[in-house]
Amino acid sequence: DAKTTQPTSMDCAEGRAANLPCNHSTISGNEYVYWYRQIHSQGPQYIIHGLKNNETNEMASLIITEDRKSSTLILPHATLRDTAVYYCIVRVAFEANDYKLSFGAGTTVTVRA
């Protein structure tokens, strides 16, 4: 039973912002939204996570809707090196028993020159 749904794939232009949507309509009030990405043949790379408020770090921004049923990961200036599979994962906050990260199919993002 998937907790998140993401588009299968998307293209974006180099230098433009990439907006990756994720639906998590059954999210609980105590669940974080996590984003990882996996560049071909590499290990998953942590990007960002949030609970309620929007978050920003050196890699990306995370926008969570007020009802928390969906979120958007924003890569502000996509480069060719951002081509990867992006995974949106929900995980219970502060719950020591929720450590199994569930990687679905993710979104395959292709950045084109």
Partner 1 sequence: NAGVMQNPRHLVRRRGQEARLRCSPMKGHSHVYWYRQLPEEGLKFMVYLQKENIIDESGMPKERFSAEFPKEGPSILRIQQVVRGDSAAYFCASSPSATETQYFGPGTRLLVL
List residues near partner 1 by CB under 8 A. 34, 36, 41-46, 49, 87, 93-97, 99-106
Residue with smaller CB distance to partner 1, 3 or 49: 49
Q: Least distance from C-beta 94 to partner 1, angstroms?
A: 5
| Structure-token match 């588009």, residue found | 7
Residue with smaller CB distance to partner 1, 29 or 43: 43
What is the rounded distance in angstroms from the CA atom of residue 65 to the CA atom of residue 35? Answer: 15
Residue with smaller CB distance to partner 1, 96 or 113: 96
H or E element: which one contains 49? strand 45-50
In angstroms, what CA-CA distances link 2 with 42, 87, 90? 24, 12, 10
Q: Least distance from C-beta 99 to partner 1, angstroms?
A: 5
